A and B are shown apart, each in its own frame.
Chain A
Amino acid sequence: MFRLVKVARFGWAEFAAQNPWPVVGATMLPRAALQSLFFTMLATVLGGAPAGEFVFVGSLAAALALTGAVGIVDVPMLDKWSGTFHKVRSAVVSPFVILALRALPYPIVGVGSVLVTLAVVGPATGHGWLALRLLPWMGVYAVMAFTTSAAGLAAAALAVGRRADVVVGNLLSYLILLAGGVFLPPGRLGWVDAIGVVVPVRHGVAAIRAGLQGRAWLPELAAEVAVGAGWAVIAWLVVTVQVRRARASGHDDFA
């Protein structure tokens, strides 16, 4: 347990070195809020007030993609850039657990960005009352922060050996924007709905919207947890294969 705490603290120090808190406050949080503001305004212009309200709820989840899908790629990539993965795979703590604990700041900052966006964009777009109604649902947004981060970690682990870290992180982020149920209502485009089944955030946002309308929301939340668990298993598998291959052949994709 002590070792796990040490790894987690290291993860925070690593995050702070990459993203000093003044930079987080001046750029990352405003970006999440401005992204939500832009898409909420756009939806209101294109589809009227109901579309604006629909997208406002979804845009809060889209903010999670900025840290959970794009930013989190830095966690395994730092080992590649620094040539330190051989230390990670020979550590006492499991390599996957090390990467997961080092990635902990990303979903937490993601939840922070959701709170800031709720506080600023809600009143600015005339959704102040909706913003208050969403506060009890912050737990579901927190779940989505972790499912997004699980997907981001899986994508990053897959991309490490292929120099595709920029593409993969952004591809996942845009996949969430497109098929995450963030902006497009279900049933609008069939092929988007089909892809969305395995995309993080989709079921979580559906749970929140169902809950706001007084419908059953637990099944969608369970589906969101299942999707996140699936992505976490993929991340674990990729890292495990990397470690075993490295032990057998002496090199891995992080070299």
Chain B
Amino acid sequence: MQIQEMRASQAALVIGVIQPAVLIVVTFGLHDRPDPEVATRLAAGVTLTVLWASTIWTAGGILRREVFQGTLAANVTGARSPYLVVLGKTAGATVASAGSILATTAVTVTALGMPVRLGRPAWLVVCLLVTLASTSALGLLLSCLFLLTRHAHQLSSALMYPVFILGGMLVPTDILPQPARWVSALITLRWANEFLVAAASGRVEVAPGLVLLALTGCYAVAAVVVFGHVVNRARRDGVLDLA
């Protein structure tokens, strides 16, 4: 249902097609004739960068849209677990976005004639699945946080670029100041990028994959705790329809 809703959304076109296409053209245009190693790293970096942006705008806005549509109370008090409903929606939004982003990236990179590798397809798929799970959990966490403010739209915009800079996807972490690097270590997309680039280059690096899994688990637990807290607070204050 969430995937079908996304298909009709204007934001899906912007996030899934326009943004990745423009970012790829700009990124590859800034680099003069990249070799396969660099091209692969840039393609992976752009894909994950746009995936983060899409997480903020789609999955992150799930609960606020529930409030606007007046369906949050029904979801929370319905027969099915609200965690299941909301997690399903964020996962649907993430999968829908990821599908468009990957398709656009593939078409644009091919059209530009960039020598991107796909060394270990099976490990690429594994990495992708874990990354999608991670961004779904992160989407749910953001969704809960955005419910706490009326200015979620502006807050969403401001949250994009810190992760672009600190996430290690396009900007290497070794050029960041030392205090900023520990922040980078807590961002799952950084480890997803390392795992993805290694797999695409034909190597299997288990360590980034394990860190990615561990952080995903932490995000999921945090999301469940925060969601429960937000809903219970709204129930206690009698403002579930107005959260």
Is A177 in the interface zone, CB < 8 Å from B? yes
Is B22 in the interface zone, CB < 8 Å from A? yes
Give the chain B neighbours of A38 by CB distance below 8 A: 161, 164-165, 171
Q: Which of B69-77, B81-89, B150-158, B208-216 contacts A (4 or more CB under 8 A)?
A: B150-158
Which residue of chain A lies nearest to B177 when distances are taken between CB atoms in the complex?
A: A124
Which residue of chain B lies nearest to A174 when distances are taken between CB atoms in the complex?
A: B22
Check A37 against B161 for contact (C-beta < 8 Å): yes
Check A42 against B18 for contact (C-beta < 8 Å): no
Contact code string B1-36 (vs A, CB < 8 Å = 1, else 0) = 000000000110110001100100111011110000
Complex formed: what's the CA distance from A20 to B10 in Å? Answer: 26
Give the chain A neighbours of B13 by CB distance below 8 A: 167
Which residue of chain A lies nearest to B13 when distances are taken between CB atoms in the complex?
A: A167
Check A30 against B175 for contact (C-beta < 8 Å): no
Check B14 against A171 for contact (C-beta < 8 Å): yes
Check B151 against A177 for contact (C-beta < 8 Å): no
Is A184 in the interface zone, CB < 8 Å from B? yes
Contacts A38-B164, A46-B31, A47-B32 given; indicate if A27 touches B151 (C-beta within 8 A).
Answer: yes
Complex formed: what's the CA distance from A218 to B26 in Å? Answer: 27
Could you count the A-B residue pairs with CB atoms below 8 Å apart for me: how many are there? Answer: 88
Check B26 against A184 for contact (C-beta < 8 Å): yes
Is A5 in the interface zone, CB < 8 Å from B? no
Check A188 against B29 for contact (C-beta < 8 Å): yes
Most buried by A among B27, B30, B155, B175: B30
Contact code string A30-64 (vs B, CB < 8 Å = 1, else 0) = 11001101100111011100010001000000000
Give the chain A neighbours of B19 by CB distance below 8 A: 170, 174
Interface size on A, as a range, is 35 or more
Which residue of chain A lies nearest to B9 when distances are taken between CB atoms in the complex?
A: A166
Q: Which of A20, A37, A166, A183 contacts B30, CB < 8 Å?
A: A183
What's the minimum C-beta distance from A137 to chain B, rounded to whole angstroms? 23
Contact code string B115-134 (vs A, CB < 8 Å = 1, else 0) = 00000000000000000000
Contacts A42-B170, A51-B30, A163-B10 given; indicate if A171 touches B158 (C-beta within 8 A).
Answer: no
What's the minimum C-beta distance from A74 to chain B, rounded to whole angstroms? 10
Check B151 against A178 for contact (C-beta < 8 Å): no
Is B172 in the interface zone, CB < 8 Å from A? yes
Check A42 against B161 for contact (C-beta < 8 Å): no
Is A28 in the interface zone, CB < 8 Å from B? yes
What's the minimum C-beta distance from A170 to chain B, rounded to whole angstroms? 4
Complex formed: what's the CA distance from A47 to B32 in Å? Answer: 8
Is B78 in the interface zone, CB < 8 Å from A? no
Check B165 against A41 for contact (C-beta < 8 Å): yes
Q: Which of B11, B14, B154, B172 contacts A23, CB < 8 Å?
A: B154
Check A183 against B26 for contact (C-beta < 8 Å): yes
Q: Which of B10, B155, B171 contacts A27, CB < 8 Å?
A: B155
Complex formed: what's the CA distance from A47 to B164 in Å? Answer: 18
Q: Which of A23, A43, A45 contacts B175, CB < 8 Å?
A: A45
Give the chain A neighbours of B26 by CB distance below 8 A: 177-178, 183-184
Is B238 in the interface zone, CB < 8 Å from A? no
Give the chain A neighbours of B11 by CB distance below 8 A: 166
Q: Which of A27, A42, A46, A55 contacts B154, CB < 8 Å?
A: A27
Give the chain B neighbours of A35 by CB distance below 8 A: 161
Most buried by B among A42, A45, A47, A51: A42
What's the minimum C-beta distance from A25 to chain B, rounded to whole angstroms? 11
What's the minimum C-beta distance from A40 to chain B, rounded to whole angstroms? 10
Is A164 in the interface zone, CB < 8 Å from B? yes
Contacts A27-B151, A45-B175, A171-B14 given; indicate if A189 touches B158 (C-beta within 8 A).
Answer: no
Complex formed: what's the CA distance from A27 to B155 in Å? Answer: 6
Give the chain A neighbours of B175 by CB distance below 8 A: 41, 45
Give the chain A neighbours of B171 by CB distance below 8 A: 38, 41-42, 45
Complex formed: what's the CA distance from A45 to B172 in Å? Answer: 8
| A-B interface, 5 closest residue pairs, ranked by CB to CB distance from nearest | A34-B161, A27-B158, A27-B154, A166-B10, A46-B31
User: What are 5 pairs between A and B in contact, CB < 8 Å?
Assistant: A28-B154, A31-B158, A46-B27, A167-B10, A171-B18
**Extra pairs beyond A31-B158, A31-B161, A51-B30 (20, CB < 8 Å):** A20-B151, A23-B151, A23-B154, A27-B151, A27-B155, A28-B157, A30-B158, A34-B160, A34-B164, A35-B161, A38-B171, A41-B165, A46-B31, A47-B30, A66-B157, A167-B14, A171-B14, A183-B26, A184-B29, A189-B29
